[in-house]
Structure 1
Amino acid sequence: MPKIKATIGQKIEGSYTPMKIRIFCLLIISWSLMTAAAAYGAELQPGIIKGDNVNLRSGPGLDDHIISVLQPGLAVTVVDESAAWFMVQLPDGQTGWVYRQFIQTDGADSQENPPKFTVDMMLDYARSLLGIHYRYGGDSPRGFDCSGFIVYVLAKFGVNLPHEAALQMDTGEQVETREDLIPGDLVFFKTMGSRTVNHVGIYLGDNCFIHAASGFGAVRISPLDSGYYFSRYVGGRRLSMFIDAYKI
């Protein structure tokens, strides 16, 4: 593409007009999208972000760096794909990778191309962190507190939550009773005589949940139907991404 230089107030092929500037900008954007598609050998697809606080990553993997956090309804252009990931270009030209479950495209509805994310993947990842020691305020493998453990695990799957159990209880949909819990639900407690929610874990099924326990000093699995946490349970929440993923 030939180089075109222009600044506000200069002439472009004659007299400067706002219309010519707009046309010039549209040409630049179109050229950018075509270049991206050619570079990655993909057919351009329009898409819409359909999840809350979706991570835009530097590569197609859960361990790749988070570039930005995207909100639902954002229009993007899909320029490439790799297994369970789409490479997208944002309206400002920035590119990155998004888990394909969180993008609605015209040619690939989630029912026709089911996402490869499953709740079991998330639970397996949570179990892989068993034994990591408890650290107040921690949200990394160097040490977790209860809400930091939730933040870390869910961030790996594109969900960003506040680092506080009481605020995490404001997310998702309420689970009415213990009997209604399904694997992947967040479970909340009032411990140590607290009047507010101050502990959280992830329900695994079979009346067990995984959490970073200060009393035990590490990430562990505890029973929900007996023992210390039975009488301190206050409710469960189900995140929308788990509702969709559980239907796979």
Structure 2
Amino acid sequence: MTPETGRTDLVTRAAEELRELVVRTRYVLFDFDGPICRLFHGYPATEIARAQVKWLKDQGRDGLLTEEERFSPDPHGVLSAFAARHPGSDLLIDLEEILTQHELRAAGVAWPTMYADPLIQTWVATGARLAIVTNNSARTVAEYLRDRKLLSCFAPHIYGRRAQEMHFLKPHPETLNRALRAMGAAPEASLMIGDTDSDADAARAAGVRFLGYASSARAVRRMRGAGVPERDIMDSLEPLLDAVRAVKHS
């Protein structure tokens, strides 16, 4: 067997495994930022994190964050850190709403993930039921999907961040379990597609098979570190779209 033949065999085997996975999957849980779009493509998350810290400073409450948190480039990290110390507070509710407003603006210039739109539409056409499970605001998700004319593919099954339940953000499996309960879905007939180690951990805790979408070598390393097998990590959604199309036309 030549090296070229060996590579062809591996590609063929991977395609067959994907088709078998699609055949077994009746419910698909998508993370939002990553597998469906790059939410902060045109609206850097670092700017949002700075705006959150400035707002707290304007309230005279920036001292509630550590020095590291005040300079964090991650707005979800700032919010989560604040929520851990002040759960259910009015300040937390206001801070979460500020993040939601920034996300809504980001959704207007978000960059669609290549092959995501046809993958969603084709999977729905096979009879599968789809849900979003995300640490972003459900309002943000709905706004983006509405603009892409994809909202009907998911609604009403969009499960996002809640200010009063920050402890349920992934890697906690609650958003996944909420989606499974609402759809009447068995975990063994379900699949999650995410792009972080927290997505992988949440899927594992919910008993749901996981496929990782990794757009960078760093993302691959983080997922491998979370125990995701290399065969379950994709750098493109195209092979999955091909598998869904193959099942649809079989």
TM-score (norm 2): 0.25
- In our comparison, the structure showing a higher alpha carbon Rg is 1
Higher relative contact order (CA 8 A, sep 6+): 2
More strand by share: 1
